[in-house]
């Protein structure tokens, strides 16, 4: 068995179905115990408003923290990942992506609230924290091995999925659109990322608060324009999503409900990171905020990354007419999938149906921005994880050097095996984090904003 096949087998054994079920179980538990809190926006809207009015204290502003978290969650998975989920799981995958996101909103609340409650002050006076802190400080001795496990998996996930995969997306886009050699784009990307990471979380937050609204606004404007022009096909798209989730074989032949569930939940998890614990490190850096405020912003993060961005991607694909379920199933059965059906090319072709030549350009630019901001977010997460394992400034410098080397290597090579390593590392991050969240659920639920008496 080859190394790629071995890693793929390990990743599949971890994710399907055990870890996917654990994500749904954790989200369902927090949803039930909170009284379906995510469906009562009137209860958390005031909390969000109060947090925005408060100035930063020893860390990022609230908007910078949210932007840094979104910088890593709104990545290439929001474009290529959604297209891949639909191709392999059918239109019904979109429905289960929504379900995982709605449940994940409460998982996101729990981990962000705990990250704020158990954060610590860095030597420079800034706030820092994350799963490592609430594992060690919240679970005491039992949390130390979980924190070490999580941190080690986070370092590998940052180098593989955070550095190599995202850098490869950038180099591929630049080579296809402008003919730039992969080594050149790799070096340029490493330079651009290194200049930001050298400034620490403060500079990451400032760059993120500028780029994230820009890239999200650009992609959402193009997506909503495409949907408006194809609005007559929206009812059929929603019908396909519903049928694909519950009657896929009757509607599309070879797709099954199991495939829709597998790809939909996995895509929801990968795009919003609720339960992985990674973006909790960004929220913990928002100095002066309360656990309730960070928890509510964690829900907003899931809402934006999956229920908004990924939904628009999915609807554009399903209304454009480029994706045909019968042809996709035939290509999968023959193991001869044309390149234009996979990931970003399928998304670009779908946008091109309504936006013409501007469609592929929009997708390419969005991919560049999404991948670059993901590099910044994951660069910070890896630093924090290695600092917990090793401590001191030397570990940060060592990680930054290794991260930038991985950016260059990822730009030049095929990253099929790296994708599988990233999936495996993400799963190994999620296991200790979800375990800690469930054990600390009483504390997390205690941070829910109280109902106001009339």
The CATH number that applies at residue 250 is 1.20.1740.10
Q: What is the pLDDT of residue 358?
A: 92
In a domain, 245, yes or no: yes
Q: Both tokens of residue 58?
A: 């020893």
**289: containing domain:** 57-442
Regions of the chain where pLDDT drops below 50 = 454
Count of the separate structural domains present in the chain: 1
In a domain, 242, yes or no: yes
Q: What is the pLDDT of residue 29?
A: 96
Contact of 92 with 314, CB cutoff 8 Å: no
Q: Both tokens of residue 433?
A: 């984090």
In a domain, 70, yes or no: yes
Distance CA 346, CA 316 (A): 10
Q: At 58, which helix (H) or strand (E)?
A: none
Q: What is the pLDDT of residue 454?
A: 47
* DSSP state letter for 37: G
Q: What is the pLDDT of residue 6?
A: 81
Q: What is the pLDDT of residue 238?
A: 96
In a domain, 91, yes or no: yes
Sign of CA dihedral 97, 416, 13, 246: positive
Q: What is the pLDDT of residue 55?
A: 54
In a domain, 250, yes or no: yes
In a domain, 27, yes or no: no
In a domain, 405, yes or no: yes
Helices (H), 15-91: 20-33, 41-53, 62-73, 80-89
Q: What is the pLDDT of residue 395?
A: 82
CA distances from 165 to 211, 218, 276 (A): 20, 23, 18
Contact of 110 with 437, CB cutoff 8 Å: yes
In a domain, 36, yes or no: no
Q: What is the pLDDT of residue 148?
A: 96
């Amino acid at each position: 068995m080859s190394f790629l096949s071995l890693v793929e087998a390990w990743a599949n054994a971890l994710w399907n179905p055990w870890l996917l079920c654990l994500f749904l179980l954790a989200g369902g538990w927090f949803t039930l115990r909170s009284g379906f809190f995510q469906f009562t926006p009137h209860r958390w809207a005031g909390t969000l408003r109060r947090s925005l009015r408060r100035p930063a204290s020893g860390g990022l502003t609230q908007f910078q923290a949210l932007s840094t978290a979104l910088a890593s969650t709104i990545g290439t998975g929001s474009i290529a990942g959604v297209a891949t989920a639909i191709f392999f799981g059918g239109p019904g995958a979109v429905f289960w992506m929504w379900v995982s996101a709605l449940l994940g909103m409460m998982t996101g609340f729990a981990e962000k609230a705990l990250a704020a409650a158990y954060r610590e002050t860095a030597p420079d006076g800034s706030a820092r924290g994350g799963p490592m802190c609430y594992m060690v400080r919240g679970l005491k001795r039992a949390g130390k091995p979980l924190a070490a496990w999580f941190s080690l998996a986070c370092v590998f996930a940052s180098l593989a999925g955070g550095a190599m995969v995202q850098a490869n997306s950038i180099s591929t886009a630049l080579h296809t659109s402008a003919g730039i050699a992969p080594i050149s784009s790799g070096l340029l990307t490493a330079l651009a990322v290194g200049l930001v990471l050298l400034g620490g979380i403060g500079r990451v937050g400032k760059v993120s608060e500028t780029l994230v609204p820009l890239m999200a606004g650009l992609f959402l404007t193009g997506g909503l324009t495409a949907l408006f022009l194809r609005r007559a096909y929206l009812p059929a798209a929603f019908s396909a999503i519903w049928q694909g989730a519950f009657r896929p074989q009757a509607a599309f032949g070879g797709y099954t409900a199991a495939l829709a569930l597998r790809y939909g939940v996995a895509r929801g998890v990968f795009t919003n990171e609720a339960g992985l614990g990674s973006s909790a490190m960004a929220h913990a850096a928002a100095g002066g905020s309360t656990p309730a405020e960070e928890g509510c912003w964690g829900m907003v993060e899931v809402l934006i990354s999956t229920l908004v961005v990924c939904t628009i991607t999915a609807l554009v694909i399903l209304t454009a007419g480029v994706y045909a379920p019968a042809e996709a199933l035939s290509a999968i059965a023959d193991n001869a999938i044309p390149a234009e059906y996979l990931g970003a090319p399928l998304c670009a072709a779908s946008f091109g149906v309504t936006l013409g030549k501007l469609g592929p350009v929009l997708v390419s630019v969005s991919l560049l921005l999404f991948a670059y901001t993901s590099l910044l977010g994951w660069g910070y997460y890896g630093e924090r994880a290695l600092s917990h394992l090793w401590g001191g400034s030397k570990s940060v410098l060592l990680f930054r050097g290794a991260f930038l080397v991985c950016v260059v290597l990822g730009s030049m090579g095929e990253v099929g095996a790296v994708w599988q390593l990233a999936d495996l590392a993400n799963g190994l991050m999620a296991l200790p984090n979800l375990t800690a969240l469930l054990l600390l659920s009483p504390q997390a639920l205690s941070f829910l904003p109280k109902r106001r008496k009339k």
